Amino acid sequence: MHRTTVQTPGPATPSLLWPGKAARVPLSDREATLCDVYGYGEELGRLFRGDSFDMLSWLLNHGYAGTVDLVYIDPPFGGGSLYSRKVQFRGVDSDLVIQVPAYQDLWSDADYMQFMYERLVLLHRVLSETGSLYLHVDTAQAHYLKVLCDEVFGRENFQREIVWRIGWVSGYKSQAKNWIRNHDTILFYSKDPAHFYFDKQYAPYAAGYKRRGEGKKGKGHPLEDTWNCSDQDKLDSIQIKSFSHEKTGYPTQKNEQILERIIRSSSPEGGLVLDCFLGSGTTAAVARKMSRRWLAADVSPAAVHTSRVRLLTEGLGQLSSGFATYDFESATQTPTAEVAIERKSNKLDISIKSFQSPVLAEAASRQHGREGIDWRSTVDCVLVDLNFNGQAFRMDFADLPQAQLTVKGVYGPRTSGRVAVKIIDLLGNEVLVAE
């Protein structure tokens, strides 16, 4: 494909300088491979596994410039951390919990600024003239990224600095000899300050509220740019809620309420929402619930799999608003499996005879000295395509057990065309077995 170049929107002052800063950003020409299709619909959601820069370049190379109504991103904060997550095995091995890497946030200052600069330039290009950007950051990077966004979007397009109070603080976080840190920052920018879409939101009136003796009138209190700071605006972080049904186990997961508020206020129904740092899948899940189209990506296979399972589990009755997965990456440690597929008159017998996940087997052995793990304990889900065309996998039914339960491993659907079975382990590594 022809290699094109994106130039920044124009000079702005003040601006940041760092070693290696480039004024022109060449687009990647990497192609994305269509892997899976789940459900159906006039326009499928798109879930990409790969770097956000490759995803944004692909969109610009395929006609998406100026089409996105809303961008929400919660990128790495450049905090020098290596994030991990706990993975619990299933079934008879459910006592086994391992630690696996989720993603790393280790950067030099110059590398981090260049990383964010390149992606902000491309995000500006994909936004429509009425579109908006919400950039979720912490206090360590908020001021640098504010100047960076001013340069890319223009200072006149800065709309608000939203302060999200995370919630109550306890334990070691409350011991600091300082003001206790308890908020994140969300920078809100428009593409055009005169034409950006915005649907004003309101918090309900408190019980007994009266306005100048007239009682309750109007829609409520207009929401301010400080969130979760009153009894009428409860928005505590999901990370401090021990029993939230939303939790996926993915680090840095954000609340659905935050995305509901942003999507409702800054995109029309049927609009197009983009998140190229998808993490646990919250943006895509909420966009679909709110009848928005969506584009999403993450470089972490675990994040993409967490998002895929979340979308399938929450949307088994909504497959008319389906989605497709695309891949810029190639699998590095593919599991192996033996699957028997037998045809008997008008019925199929599908039986998984064995499954081996090298990564999980090695982690169980190294971290716990455990050998001989039951293969069902390592499988997150089984998907079946009853009319496999040899290219894109199109799911017809799924075995998606709840936490700690195991897949059945034996299935008897009615006969059809060529059958393909996709088995996915707890980390999102997968193997495809077809007739």
**Same-domain check for residues 260 and 242:** yes
What six digits make up the tokens of 263?
A: 């999507």
Residues 131-144 pLDDT 10s: 999 999 988 889 99
Rounded mean pLDDT of the chain? 87
Strand (E) or helix (H) holding 351? strand 347-356
Of 3-7, 16-20, 49-53, where does the model show the most confidence?
Answer: 49-53
The DSSP secondary-structure symbol of 261 reads: H
Q: Which of 206, 189, 106, 187 is nearest to 143 (CA)?
A: 187
Q: Is 139 helix (H, G, I), strand (E, B) or coil?
A: coil
What is the reported pLDDT for 281?
Answer: 94
Cα distances from 255 to residues 182, 235, 261, in angstroms, run 16, 8, 10
What pLDDT does residue 237 have? 79
- Say yes or no: 55 and 191 in one domain: yes
Q: What is the mean pLDDT of residues 87-92?
A: 93
Q: Which of 327, 344, 364 is the last residue of a domain?
A: 327
The stretch 200-216 carries a mean pLDDT of 75
Q: Which pLDDT value is given to residue 356?
A: 95
Do 243 and 351 belong together in one domain?
Answer: no
Examine the domain organization and report whether 90 and 200 are in the same domain. yes
User: At residue 176, does pLDDT exceed 90?
Assistant: no
pLDDT for residue 242 is more than 90: no
* Same domain as 260, residue 111: yes
Token pair of 282 as six digits: 């919250």
Please write the tens of the pLDDT for every residue from 313-333: 886 555 456 899 999 976 666
Whether pLDDT at 1 is above 50: no
Q: What is the pLDDT of residue 218?
A: 77
Task: State residue 296's pLDDT score.
Answer: 98
Q: What is the CATH classification number for the domain harbouring 53?
A: 3.40.50.150
Confidence label for 335 from pLDDT (cuts 50, 70 and 90): very high
pLDDT digits (tens, 9 = 90+) for 271-281: 999 999 999 99
What stretches of 37-154 show up as alpha helix (H) in DSSP?
A: 52-61, 109-126, 142-153
Question: pLDDT confidence of 216, banded at 50, 70, 90?
Answer: low
Whether the model pTM is above 0.85: yes
Determine the Cα–Cα distance for residues 47 and 352; give it in Å rounded to an integer. Answer: 28
Q: Which of 327, 352, 373 finishes a domain? A: 327
Domain that holds residue 365: 336-434
What average pLDDT does the segment 95-112 reach? 82
Q: What domain count does the chain have?
A: 2
| Mean per-residue pLDDT, 162-175 | 80
pLDDT band, very low/low/confident/very high, at 2 (cuts 50, 70, 90): very low
